[in-house]
Chain A
Amino acid sequence: MALIRHGLPAREDFAAVGSEDALPEGAVIVPFARYRAEREALLARNAPLGVRIEPGERVEELSDDLPRLAVIALAFPQFKDGRAFSSARLLRERLGYKGEIRAVGNVLRDQIFFMSRVGFTAFEVEKDKDAAAFAETMAEFSQVYQPSSDRRPTVLALRQGARMAAE
């Protein structure tokens, strides 16, 4: 397992905690159900807090708490379950979340480009080799057609810019 954060290999500084596990000291990522059950206590801890959201769970339910959460980990139980792509965009564009959105689970190297476009900033990949290939995979496409959370200028905007410049 390797963590990439903002494009670089990073040291894991959060402990992923299950629903029954004892809470360790320091930064933790807890399942959404546990967060709901122990919200007050978790927020009162003096350590960064993250919440892990499964694909069927609605990120909107977290909206009021988002400023207090350091990490939202969106789970991919299978790589082909693409619901978290929408969740990430909603977190960024609708709910204004500014913290880390992390892809966890069955995350494929060849999905990272799309993930980063919809607002993911951290990725837990299974193979170290995939982490090393991050820069390469991000450079595979130099243009994008659609606006998304990454606010990259789209082909639509670039064409429009070229038209204005020509006038």
Chain B
Amino acid sequence: MYRYDEFDRTLVKERVAQFRGQVARRVAGELTEDEFRPLRLMNGLYLQLHAYMLRVAVPYGTLSSRQMRMLAHIARTYDKGYGHFTTRQNIQYNWPRLGEVPDILDDLASVEMHAIQTSGNCIRNVTSDQYAGAIAEEIEDPRPWAELIRQWSTFHPEFSYLPRKFKIAVTGSPHDRAAVKVHDIGLDLVKSEAGEIGFRVHVGGGQGRTPMIAMTIREFLPKAELLAYLEAVMRTYNRLGRRDNLFKARIKILVHETGQEKFRAMVDEEYALMQGESPIEVPPEEVARIVAYFAPPAFERLPDADPATDRLAAEDRDFAAWLRRNVKAHRAPGYAIVDISLKPIGGVPGDATADQMDLVADLAETLSFDELRVTHEQNLVLPHVRKRDLPELWRRLKAAGLATPNMGLASDIIACPGLDYCNLANARSIPIAQKLSERLADQALQEDLGELKIKISGCINACGHHHVGHIGILGVDRKGTEYYQISLGGSADENTSLGEILGPSFTEDDAVEVVDKILGLYRELRENGESFLQCYRRVGARPFKERIYGAH
């Protein structure tokens, strides 16, 4: 994992001191709420329905045990004993008091964390693949590049007042777990025919009100040019992105209104002009310095299979289910990647209590080389676990309610905070997630349904990624009542697609029934072990519309 040096540490501390001053000015009445707003928004502090909400950055979703313990401490000391992991791989606290926020930031700084640029019209926390550095298929670990982008984007003087927020995701694997094509900029590490590794650059993806899939504007960008090229994209956007209409201000609108070829030419022109102006260059030694922090841990040489683990799997169905669903193949023999489900049946997706966080920290420290990940699907990951430790790990997770064997299944639901917390919401997201989870709880049923991504947003801002859910659920407001619109066929992986709206919306209870019916129809229609998504892509929307709304 990356560790701060004196420069990183200084900057984060100075940011806390600056924010402390800003809070003091607010409390003293020198700043009105209107004047304070842009300042707090640069630091992840929102004013929600009932209280302030503080969003803490988990850069590219990576945490150490020490950091996780601090997150637990903050939940206990300043909040109501829990935190909420988000689809941006961050954590949010829903009940901090304004006066205490600088203290929280101080605590975070002590473990090399911060809330910098977790909100506001700036470059947000960079996200990445939660299995980086552990999964076998990886071309190269994306995290050093994500860290480089983190530093470059932190307090960028030119790009801190963009037309709108800006999200960058980086992945290093052919199978895309970082949803790069629904980000403002998505970067894939790819290998050229000459065997050189560089970036494929996608620009202009996004969700929200106008979901769009990013366009590829550069097939192969040499690594050394990454930051300079990003500056060219950012400058093009900063100058030309729309500022007349909040809903058209994201880069996706600029890119799609301009067109792929023309936008690419504009960026290329800007990039060419920048060459004469000492563009940002990262010395190879600096890249090497950062890469060294992400060197693989000292894996033992182990036989790939562990007999005791296999024996328990043969004897215990629950353990076997957990292995099947929550444990993934690791690149090192004898090791495994373990997903920790934050989706207990009937629970609040992404919530973890302080005690759970402490336990996970202990497990990471003793069983996973002190490393943890947060996923954009609102779960946690222990990336490097010896297979022989799996039985013990499972028992301890199970005792804490963290071993629900549902990764990738129907009850692994993404849901935004919705109307329970968020003042932009049309409808609640959490209760419908809970009802669906309970309805689909049966393990045999879930496994029979197979890979299924249900994603729920409480409003068109799409924090719950409903556009890219195999089944997407969107809260809408119909004459002051909460309704839910259902869409089918979305996906956020390397074959990204946007869901199609099924038809008129439903009440909460009806929506649960409708999802049930959709899944029933899928079971009737599927052929040769097709997943829900494959089946939907084959048969299209029609049979589902007919089943739900009747044939007309």
A residues adjacent to B (C-beta < 8 A): 55, 79-83, 85-87, 89, 93-94, 108, 110-111, 113-115, 117-118, 129, 140-148, 155-156, 158-160, 163
Main secondary structure of the interface of B (DSSP, over half): helix
A157 to chain B, nearest CB (A): 9
Question: Would you call A159 and B286 a contact (CB within 8 A)?
Answer: yes
Question: Would you call B35 and A108 a contact (CB within 8 A)?
Answer: yes
Q: CB within 8 A of B239: which of A86, A114, A118?
A: A86
Docked CA distance A79–B163 (Å):
12
Does any Cβ of A come within 8 Å of B283's Cβ?
A: yes
Question: Would you call B238 and A85 a contact (CB within 8 A)?
Answer: yes
Question: Would you call B238 and A110 a contact (CB within 8 A)?
Answer: no
Question: Would you call B38 and A142 a contact (CB within 8 A)?
Answer: no
Question: Would you call A82 and B238 a contact (CB within 8 A)?
Answer: yes
B residues adjacent to A (C-beta < 8 A): 5, 7-8, 10-11, 14-15, 17-18, 21-22, 30, 35, 38-39, 121, 151-152, 154-163, 235, 238-239, 243, 273, 276-278, 280-283, 285-286, 289
Question: Would you call B22 and A110 a contact (CB within 8 A)?
Answer: yes
Q: What residue of chain A has the Cβ atom nearest to residue B7's Cβ? A: A155
Docked CA distance A130–B38 (Å):
16
Q: What residue of chain B has the Cβ atom nearest to residue A77's Cβ? A: B243
**Count of A-B contacts judged by CB separation below 8 Å:** 101
B426 to chain A, nearest CB (A): 26
Chain A residues near B154 (CB, 8 Å)?
A: 145
B184 to chain A, nearest CB (A): 15
Question: Would you call B159 and A85 a contact (CB within 8 A)?
Answer: yes
Question: Would you call B239 and A83 a contact (CB within 8 A)?
Answer: yes
Docked CA distance A129–B35 (Å):
14
Q: CB within 8 A of A86: which of B8, B235, B273, B278?
A: B235
Known contacts A80-B38, A156-B286, A160-B285, A142 near B159 by CB under 8 Å: no
A106 to chain B, nearest CB (A): 11
Known contacts A79-B38, A147-B278, A155-B7, A140 near B18 by CB under 8 Å: yes
Docked CA distance A160–B283 (Å):
7
Known contacts A79-B38, A160-B285, A160-B286, A155 near B151 by CB under 8 Å: yes
Main secondary structure of the interface of A (DSSP, over half): helix
B29 to chain A, nearest CB (A): 13
Q: List 8 A-B contacts (CB under 8 A).
A: A80-B121, A82-B121, A82-B161, A82-B162, A87-B239, A89-B158, A140-B18, A143-B10
Known contacts A79-B38, A94-B273, A146-B152, A159 near B7 by CB under 8 Å: yes
Chain B residues near A148 (CB, 8 Å)?
A: 157-158
Question: Would you call A93 and B35 a contact (CB within 8 A)?
Answer: no
Question: Would you call B162 and A147 a contact (CB within 8 A)?
Answer: no
Question: Would you call B280 and A82 a contact (CB within 8 A)?
Answer: no
Chain A residues near B162 (CB, 8 Å)?
A: 82
Question: Would you call A159 and B289 a contact (CB within 8 A)?
Answer: yes
Question: Would you call A163 and B285 a contact (CB within 8 A)?
Answer: yes
Q: CB within 8 A of A81: which of B161, B235, B280, B285?
A: B161
Chain A residues near B18 (CB, 8 Å)?
A: 140-141
Question: Would you call A85 and B158 a contact (CB within 8 A)?
Answer: yes
Docked CA distance A146–B159 (Å):
11
Chain A residues near B151 (CB, 8 Å)?
A: 145, 155
Question: Would you call A80 and B161 a contact (CB within 8 A)?
Answer: yes
Question: Would you call B157 and A141 a contact (CB within 8 A)?
Answer: no
Chain A residues near B283 (CB, 8 Å)?
A: 156, 160
Chain B residues near A142 (CB, 8 Å)?
A: 10, 14
Chain B residues near A94 (CB, 8 Å)?
A: 273, 276-277
